[in-house]
Chain A
Amino acid sequence: GNSVTQMEGPVTLSEEAFLTINCTYTATGYPSLFWYVQYPGEGLQLLLKATKADDKGSNKGFEATYRKETTSFHLEKGSVQVSDSAVYFCALSEAKNAGNNRKLIWGLGTSLAVNP
């Protein structure tokens, strides 16, 4: 079945450091891929998305590229800030026309702590 695997946390960085959070997936067809972020005490927010191979999603300085050949969707940011401290979830949605099953498949989440 479909699955998402994220790198385990917690990840601790200093402000302005480079961030990579790895995400790989297993799926049939061409799923859509998402990164969600959950700030402390808040609900999940969509950070960025990509719906087809080679698409690059970007938002708030974060980027992720949909790599079909490596089945990956790694999250990157060139210079993290303290305010980026949160839990990041990678998720996939089954390929369109995959019938009636449209649930998101979630990774376990990666906690990021950025120190000043």
Chain B
Amino acid sequence: EAGVVQSPRYKIIEKKQPVAFWCNPISGHNTLYWYRQNLGQGPELLIRYENEEAVDDSQLPKDRFSAERLKGVDSTLKIQPAELGDSAVYLCASSLVRREGYNEQFFGPGTRLTVL
């Protein structure tokens, strides 16, 4: 079974430029997460989707970040314009959340963003 796929793996851009990250979750997983991970820290949740609906975007900086999950499968996270402080690894994860189950998340390899 294929895992969570992310692209690109690395991205270097100038500040004020736009950038987009793509995620393909594990087939059948209804919940998708975008995290940001700064060096030496744990993941910070940016947004969580259940199917097509963004159910938790409280930590997403909405002035410059946007995300979409069309058809409840793939997702795209965009930053426009990027700032120096956005340099981090952006992780996508997916899970199959059932009402009576626990939440085991499967992570992609991440996209390492460097803003110059």
Contacts and interface: CB of A to CB of B under 8 A. Distances in A.
Contact of A103 (B45, B99, B102, B104): B45
Given A43-B91, A43-B108, A43-B110, A109 B40 contact: yes
Contacts of B100: 96-97
A97 B55 contact: no
Interface in B42-66: 42-43, 45, 48, 50, 55-56
Contacts of B50: 100
Q: Is the interface of B mostly helix, strand, loop or mixed?
A: loop
B106 A102 contact: no
A101 B31 CA distance: 12
A104 B97 CA distance: 12
Given A43-B91, A44-B91, A45-B107, A103 B42 contact: no
Interface residues of B, number: 27
B49 to A, nearest CB: 12
Interface in B71-116: 91, 93, 97, 99-110
Contacts of A22: none
Contacts of A103: 33, 45, 48, 56, 103
Interface string A53-74: 0000000000000000000000
B99 A42 contact: no
A85 interface: no
A96 B99 contact: yes
Contacts of B48: 102-103
Q: In the complex, which range does the number of interface residues on chain A fall in?
A: 20 to 34
Interface in A73-115: 89, 93-94, 96-97, 100-104, 106-109, 111
Interface of A: 32, 34, 36, 42-46, 49, 51, 89, 93-94, 96-97, 100-104, 106-109, 111
3 closest cross-chain pairs (CB), A and B: A32-B102, A106-B42, A93-B103
14 contacts: A32-B102, A43-B4, A43-B109, A49-B102, A89-B42, A93-B103, A96-B100, A97-B99, A102-B97, A102-B103, A106-B43, A107-B42, A108-B42, A109-B40
